[in-house]
Structure 1
Amino acid sequence: MEVFVAIMVGALVTASVYLMLARNVLRFLFGLVLLSNAANLVIFAAGGLTPEAPPLIAPGANAPPEGVANALPQALVLTAIVIGFGLFAFALTLVYRGYQNLGTLDTDEMRLAEPVEAEKT
């Protein structure tokens, strides 16, 4: 199971880097979302992948039994998913407003603070 997750993380990172290198701001945003999902999978896999042994502590015990998944990475991933969704919604709103104001999603055409210099002859 860990090998499959490692391959999936590699594929997600590859796709996210490809999207983030594009000049389109919307593609960059989708690449950022893919990269955060890959990071969540890495954290989730670090806690242990044991589908047959949930991370539950028996009544009266002080610690979970040996061989179960760690619950802390699962809680961290759950929190990261919520934060990532909020970041995506905010960034998508910024991209939409940028498109409304500038009429383009190309980063080279969005240069208001640094206008393109005229060709020197």
Structure 2
Amino acid sequence: MTGPGLVLVVVVAVLFAAGFDLLMQRSLIRIVIGFTLLGHGANLVLLLAGGGAGTPPLLGAKGPGSMVDPFPQAMALTAIVITFGVTAFLLALAYRSQQLRGGDEVADDVEDHRIRAEAHRREQARGAAPLEEDDPGPVDGA
């Protein structure tokens, strides 16, 4: 694979890598941007799967080359609509979080703190080695 096809594969890889990296952040706006980058990467993958240019998929159409498969193009249009809808929903969540909390950072789940504290208590009861320095341990009040 050389030329434009290789360039598009590299662009897809960069979009997916940046999108996944942003999805793992704690800021909702970064999550929205990451999801959008993943959507663009998926659209490029679908367009790459469609192959090169050809004759329009119409009965009786004549032109150079074979008929183009319309399925990847239809899937790309569907992916665009779905990405737009989910992005609008995530933006609404980020806006509401900004209004209610004054920020868009995703808070730790209280249940996660409780489970971590229970695991810490079980380790202490068994006489296991103390937690590593990097682990803050259970949060007070959890």
Question: In the alignment, is the contact (CA less than 8 A) between 1:57 and 1:65 conserved in 2?
Answer: no
Q: Alignment RMSD, CA only? A: 2.5
Report the equivalent of 2:87. Answer: 88
Higher relative contact order (CA 8 A, sep 6+): 1
Q: Which residue is equivalent to 1:45?
A: 48
Superposed structure 1 runs of 4+ greater than 4 Å apart: none
The runs of 5 or more residues in structure 1 that have no matched partner are none
Name the counterpart of 2:6: 3
Letter matched to residue 87 of structure 1 = V
Structure 2 residues not aligned, in runs of 5+ = 114-138
Q: TM-score, normalised by structure 2?
A: 0.67
AA matched with 1:8: V
Larger Rg over CA atoms: 2
Call closer, same or farther: CA 1:80–1:92 in 2, change over 3 Å.
same
After TM superposition, the structure 1 = structure 2 runs for residues 47-62 of structure 1, keeping only pairs within 5 Å, are 47-50=50-53, 53-59=54-60
Give aligned pairs, total: 112
- Letter matched to residue 8 of structure 2: V
Do 1:48 and 1:68's aligned partners in 2 also have CA atoms closer than 8 Å?
A: no
**What pairs with 1:1-121 in structure 2 (closer than 5 Å)?**
1-50=4-53, 53-59=54-60, 66-107=65-106, 110-111=107-108, 114=110, 117-118=139-140
Identity of aligned residues (%): 33
